[in-house]
Amino acid sequence: VTARIKIPFGQGTWPAFWMLGDNIGTVGWPDCGEIDIMENIGREPGVVHGTIHGPGYSGSQGIGGCHVLPAAQAFAEQFHIFAIQWQPKSIRWYLDNQLYFEVTPAQLPQGAPWPFGHPFFLLLNLAVGGEWPGDPDGTTQFPQTMLIDFVRVYQAA
């Protein structure tokens, strides 16, 4: 799963490219599983996060990694390719075709399930405010835009 995106910046912005299990309507969240392919909070213009959420490791207890750009660079300056390679027992996160994080069932809390073996659907959104990014402030410029060049989904033969 991959997308080429130019994300916005500014305090309180929260662009995301993510997935939820298609059984959310019957089992709820986090039992359905969530894969955050890319999340950014505007106060961290040079950092993107990749995270999974499931039963026993959701919200602030999600399991994830981040990629940090070199000093003074921001993701809002140009398009980047955000991707995961999703296999039955692993998920790998890539930024511009470079691996930066991987998670497997062995990394879950003891006894926690791996709810990533069924269909998921994609979401791309730009939220404003919230507990994690905080509220916009006097430095936040509006309007904000998340530009999406492409989204592609591949399946192994």
Q: Tell me the pLDDT tens digit for each residue of 82-104.
A: 999 999 999 999 999 999 999 99
Separation between Cα atoms, residue 76 and residue 141, nearest integer Å: 13
**Residue whose structure tokens are 């939220």:** 127
Known catalytic residue at 131:
no
**What is the average pLDDT score of the chain?**
97
How confident is residue 123, by pLDDT bands cut at 50, 70 and 90?
very high
Task: Work out the percent of the chain whose per-residue pLDDT is above 90.
Answer: 97
| Residue bearing the bigger pLDDT, 157 or 1 | 1
Q: Write down the pTM of the prediction.
A: 0.96
Known catalytic residue at 44:
no
Stretch 39-44: mean pLDDT, rounded?
A: 96
156 pLDDT higher than 90: no
Q: Which among 34, 44, 102, 131 is annotated as catalytic? A: 34
Asked whether 73 and 96 are in contact (CB, 8 A), the reply is no
Stretch 130-146: mean pLDDT, rounded?
A: 96
Separation between Cα atoms, residue 73 and residue 58, nearest integer Å: 30
How confident is residue 157, by pLDDT bands cut at 50, 70 and 90?
confident
Residue pLDDT, tens place only, 43-65: 999 999 999 999 999 999 999 99
Residue pLDDT, tens place only, 140-150: 999 999 999 99
Sheet containing 147-152, strands listed edge to edge, beginning at the edge strand earlier in sequence:
98-103, 90-95, 80-87, 2-6, 147-152
> Which residues contact residue 76 at a Cβ distance below 8 angstroms, ignoring those fewer than 6 apart?
6, 7, 8, 9, 45
